Chain A
Amino acid sequence: MFLVGSFFLFAAFLITTCIFVIFSKNPVNSVLFLVLAFLNSTFLFILIGAEFVGIILAIVYIGAVAILFLFVVMMLDIQITTLMFNIKRYVPLALLFAGIILAEIIYLTVFKTSKVNIDTFIRSKNNTEQIGDVLYTKYFIDFQLSGIVLLLAMIGAIVLTHVYRPTIKRQNIDSQNSTTAKDRVQLVKIKSGDGIKDD
């Protein structure tokens, strides 16, 4: 009763926030609603007992990805009217993706039900240990491959955006740290009335 009630509560919140993500006039508000949507999906994961996946979703998507979105969107100076005008262009593509995902959900829930008794599966160990058990044994290759894909994406992004401009002045930290007082200050003893010789 409590579980079902909370499921419908969080699911309703999730859908509402997703709608607000699309229809907010201000892109910053859109990103903040996106954060709320991620938070609600975290709650949904925790409700079905997958607390590890849920909290990892929160750490990665809310704690890192959405912050970078917000970071970028805040610095854009978008004309709100042009943004609303362009939405119609993306409708066919969006419907296509929605159709694919709907088909996947129907396939998974109707035609391919899980044979594992989830109750005994969850109780025997906590699900962090269970993920750890299969991640480095059964799915070792897949796991490492996805890691390499992410690494390549990261290096690619750096290579594409990093431009070395020789005109920019840079801090040379090593030379700054190895400097001593003798390199910067010279103590001179001067007789009174003599002045400093400029050589």
Chain B
Amino acid sequence: MTSLSFEITIGILKIFSFVVPVLVSVALLVYLERKVLGAVQLRKGPNVVGPFGILQSFADVIKLLTKENLLPSSSNKFLFIFAPMLTLILSLIAWAVIPISSTYVIANINIGILYLFAVSSFGVYGVIIAGWASNSKYPFLGALRSAAQMISYEVSIGFVIITVLICVGSLNLIEIVESQKNMWFAIPLLPMFVVFIISALAETNRLPFDLPEDEATLVAGFFTEYSSISFGLFFLAEYANMILMSSLTVILFLGGWYPPIDIFPLNAIPGIFWFIIKVFLILFVFLWVRATFPRYRYDQLMRLGWKIFLPLTLIWVVITSAFLFYFGLLPN
């Protein structure tokens, strides 16, 4: 009995060792985003709360927590409160299989990548339930847009993942990273890498694909009716999802915890630092894109997903498998 309670304690500690850093890095990511946007637009960004304004996000959280949580009288109360919780839960449970280094992982399961794909495809439920439960025009339109958009881009993400899996021969995330020890997949599969990053932007509802929360046409999209902490949970989940998609990009294409070249000063740095550096590099690309590109029109978004990415990824799956088969490079 003591061994069982010991294992449960260890499990809970492991979970905390992932969840707490993720939530802290969400706060830092919000700060980083505002600083990067400020730098791009020749402003200073947040610079009042704490040294260099670094405590700005924590001040925002305290503000959100102390505000009143409004429930629209015509909403479906249970689903209205449940939707932001579901969104946040889904963005956190995905971390159960993310390997930060070859040993630092909660659950090393042999279908890790499918688990991640499943969890990220459930993410649309939070949005669509929020939009419906609000019982209001703009949230509903935002939810419909989000559902169509996320399903469309999941198709191309699926094919990109299949391309990587053909090269690895395993669904285990640690094996995916270990097969990139000599060469990162971003180099031979460069077009898929680009497609994956663009699809990740669409999957996380980030600019230039943030049509579900398009403030010019839909006020705030699916969370128009949300206030205080329930809005805060959506906000938290969006940024946690960004970090998750960046980690997935790093695992699939940028060699996880491996240094770029296996030579002395680089490989002396622990793998976990390489992982974090790469994740922040991808996150910077997310913010950079947000500062640079205007928002897509909805028909352009759908056209890009179905008429360009889907054929491109499908052809690339065939080309990759044909190449590997012809040169006898298929794993196993």
* Residues of A participating in the B interface, judged by any CB pair closer than 8 Å: 28, 32, 35, 51-52, 55-56, 58-59, 62-64, 67-68, 70-71, 74, 126, 128-129, 171, 173
Q: Is B109 located at the chain interface by the 8 A CB criterion?
A: yes
Within the complex, which residue of A71, A129, A171 is in contact with B144, where a contact is CB–CB below 8 Å?
A: A71
Q: A67-B128, A70-B128, A74-B128 are in contact. Are A59 and B117 (CB under 8 A)?
A: yes
Complex: A70 Cα to B144 Cα, angstroms: 10
Contact indicator B171/A128 (Cβ below 8 Å): yes
**Residue among A32, A128, A173 making CB contact with B129, cutoff 8 Å:** A32
Given A63-B154, A71-B147, A173-B303: A35 and B125 interface contact (C-beta under 8 Å): yes
Are B125 and A74 in contact (CB-based, < 8 A)?
no
Instruction: Give complex CA distance A52, B172 in Å.
Output: 12
Q: Give complex CA distance A58, B124 in Å.
A: 14
B129→A62 contact, CB < 8 A? no
- The contact of B109 among A51, A64, A68, A171, by CB within 8 Å, is A51
Chain A residues within an 8 Å CB radius of B125: 35, 67, 70
Residues of B within 8 A of A129 (CB): 332
Q: Which of A63, A128, A171 contacts B118 (CB 8 A)?
A: A63
**Contact yes or no, A55 B132, CB < 8 A:** no
Known contacts A32-B129, A126-B110, A128-B111; decide if A67 and B124 are in contact (CB<8 Å): yes
Give per-residue flags for B100-136: 1 if the beta carbon is below 8 A from chain A beta carbons, else 0.
0000000001110011011001101100110010000
Residues of A with C-beta under 8 A to B303: 173
Given contacts A63-B154, A128-B110, A173-B300, contact A55 B115 (CB under 8 A): yes
Residues on the B chain within 8 Å of A63, using CB:
118, 121-122, 154
- Give the distance in Å from the alpha carbon of A121 to the alpha carbon of B111 in the complex: 18
Q: Of A55, A71, A74, which one neighbours B111 at CB under 8 angstroms?
A: A55
The list of the 8 closest CB pairs from A to B, nearest first, reads A63-B121, A55-B114, A58-B118, A59-B118, A126-B110, A74-B132, A51-B111, A55-B111
Which chain B residues border A28 with CB–CB below 8 Å? 132
1/0 contact trace for B264-292 toward A, CB 8 Å?
00000000000000000000000000000
Contacts of A128 in B (CB 8 A): 110-111, 171
Q: Mark B140-166, 1 if CB is under 8 A from A, else 0.
A: 100110010001001000000000000
Residue of A nearest to B78 (CB): A29
The yes or no answer to B299 lying at the interface (CB within 8 A) is yes
Q: A58-B118, A173-B300 are in contact. Are A67 and B111 (CB under 8 A)?
A: no
A67's partner among B118, B132, B147 (CB-CB below 8 A) is B147
Instruction: Determine how close the nearest CB of chain B comes to the CB of A6; give it in whole angstroms.
Output: 15
In the complex, 11 of the A-B residue pairs with CB atoms within 8 angstroms, ordered by the A residue number, are: A32-B129, A55-B115, A55-B118, A62-B118, A64-B121, A64-B151, A67-B124, A67-B147, A70-B132, A74-B132, A74-B143
Chain B interface (Cβ within 8 Å of chain A)? 79, 109-111, 114-115, 117-118, 121-122, 124-125, 128-129, 132, 140, 143-144, 147, 151, 154, 171, 299-300, 303, 332
Q: B299 and A67: CB pair below 8 A?
A: no
Check if A171 sits within 8 Å of B154, measured CB to CB: no
Task: Give B129's nearest chain A residue, CB to CB.
Answer: A32
Report which of A32, A59, A126, A173 forms a contact with B121, defined as CB distance below 8 A. Answer: A59
Chain A nearest CB, measured from B82 CB (Å): 9
Contact A56 B114 (CB under 8 A): yes
Inter-chain contacts of A55 with B (CB < 8 A): 111, 114-115, 118
* B129–A51 CB distance below 8 A: no
Interface core residue of B117, B122, B140 (most chain A CB under 10 Å): B122
18 additional contacts, CB 8 Å, given A59-B117, A67-B147, A70-B128? Answer: A28-B132, A32-B129, A52-B111, A55-B114, A55-B118, A58-B122, A59-B114, A62-B118, A63-B121, A64-B121, A64-B154, A67-B128, A67-B151, A70-B147, A74-B128, A126-B110, A171-B299, A173-B300
Contacts of A52 in B (CB 8 A): 111, 114
Cα of A23 to Cα of B268 in the assembled complex, Å: 62
Q: How far is the CA of A173 from the CA of B299 in the complex (A)?
A: 10
B114 touches A62 (CB 8 A): no
Complexed CA–CA distance, A55 and B118 (Å): 7
Chain A residues with Cβ under 8 A from B129's Cβ?
32
CB distance from A33 to the nearest CB of B (A): 12
B117 / chain A contacts, CB cutoff of 8 Å: 59
Chain B residue at minimum C-beta to C-beta distance from A171: B299
Known: A67-B147, A128-B111. A62 touches B128 (CB 8 A): no
A59 and B122 alpha carbons, distance in the complex (Å) = 8
